[in-house]
């Protein structure tokens, strides 16, 4: 699915409260498209990173209340319970999260209830992940977690979509012209253990950021665009 098609899907799925899982290579724009879809639909965005979360982040913190123990929601979980306005809870890099965290999140996505607390009807769950072949630390997603999403879509870069985006985001005209001339360099992802980057929309955009600094080739700005640098 190209970026414009994903944007259209999210613009319909978010108001309908339908959870969507987006997969794709690093740097193809998954997070940016979700952010833009939230802006377009007037939806608040809460971003989580399950890879650094703990199960208690999705279950609540055990605490003594009166004469008994309860799980008390805190942080983002409390925001999901108390949301009064349309809200997207975006789980970025879900495939890198340990199974215990995925299992805790699974209850929220489908049952929308955990430990006696109900998730607000204003909340839509969206998640994104790299693929195992991308060598991005993805161990996989539990089968019951995958089936909680109404659809799983793969995002792939598209030259025409990127050119439209670049023209609206101050990408230098010469860089746009170069990518038109060498379209394969918009996305030539080849994961490696070496300290090198592959061309992708993120790294091409970082070339644009370097060019905006006005640096010459001898002072650090890439003289060639074959291997755009990223942060």
Taking only the tens place, the pLDDT of each residue in 64-111 is: 878 788 878 888 889 999 999 999 999 999 999 999 999 988 888 888
DSSP secondary structure of 137-183: S-----HHHHTTSSEEEE----HHHHHHHHHHTT--HHHHHHHHHSG
Give me the domain span that covers residue 73. Answer: 3-154
The pLDDT of 203-212, averaged and rounded, is 94
Inside any domain, residue 170: yes
Residue 149 shares a structural domain with residue 170: no
Give yes or no: residues 191 and 79 share one domain. Answer: no
State how many domains the chain has: 2
Query: Edge to edge, what strands does the sheet with 44-48 contain?
Result: 44-48, 87-91, 123-129, 20-23, 151-154
Does one domain contain both 163 and 149? no
The one-character DSSP state at 49 is -
Tokens 């993120």 belong to 202
**Cβ atoms of residues 208 and 172 within 8 Å:** yes
pLDDT at 216: 65
Query: Based on the domain organization, do 210 and 102 belong to the same domain?
Result: no
In sequence order, the 6+-apart residues with CB closer than 8 A to the CB of 96 are 50, 51, 129, 130, 136, 137, 138, 139
Residue 230, in any domain of the structure? no
pLDDT of residue 231: 40
Tell whether 82 and 118 lie within a shared domain: yes
The average pLDDT across 124-139 equals: 93
In a domain, residue 214? The reply is yes
Q: Which of 168, 34, 170 is nearest to 94 (CA)?
A: 34
Instruction: Retrieve residue 180's tokens.
Output: 């038109």
> Does residue 228 lie in a domain region?
no
3-class secondary-structure state, position 11? helix
Domain presence at residue 225: no
Least confident interval from 23-37, 146-160, 212-226: 212-226
pLDDT at residue 112 tops 70? yes
- pLDDT, position 223: 44
The answer on 205 and 114 residing in a single domain is no
Give the integer Cα–Cα distance in Å for 205 and 229. 9
Q: What is the mean pLDDT of the chain?
A: 89
Q: Are residues 95 and 138 in the same domain?
A: yes
């Amino acid at each position: 699915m190209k970026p414009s098609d994903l944007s259209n899907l999210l613009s319909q799925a978010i108001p309908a409260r339908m959870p969507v899982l987006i997969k794709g290579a690093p740097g193809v724009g998954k997070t940016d498209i979700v952010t833009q879809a939230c802006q377009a639909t007037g939806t608040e965005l809460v971003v989580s990173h399950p890879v650094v979360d703990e199960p208690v982040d999705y279950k609540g913190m055990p605490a003594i209340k009166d004469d008994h123990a309860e799980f008390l929601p805190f942080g983002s979980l409390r925001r999901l319970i108390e949301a009064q306005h349309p809200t997207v809870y975006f789980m970025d890099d879900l495939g890198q999260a340990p199974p215990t965290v995925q299992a805790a999140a699974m209850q929220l996505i489908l049952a929308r209830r955990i430990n006696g607390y109900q998730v607000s009807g204003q909340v839509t769950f969206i998640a994104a992940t790299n693929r195992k072949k991308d060598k991005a630390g993805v161990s996989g997603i539990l089968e019951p977690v995958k089936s909680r999403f109404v659809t799983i879509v793969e995002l792939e870069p598209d030259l025409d979509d990127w050119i439209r985006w670049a023209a609206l985001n101050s990408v230098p005209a010469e860089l746009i012209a170069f990518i038109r001339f060498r379209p394969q360099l918009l996305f030539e992802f080849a994961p490696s253990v070496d300290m090198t980057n592959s061309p992708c929309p993120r790294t091409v955009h970082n070339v644009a950021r370097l060019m905006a600094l006005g640096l010459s080739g001898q002072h650090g700005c890439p003289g060639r665009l074959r291997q755009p640098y990223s942060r």
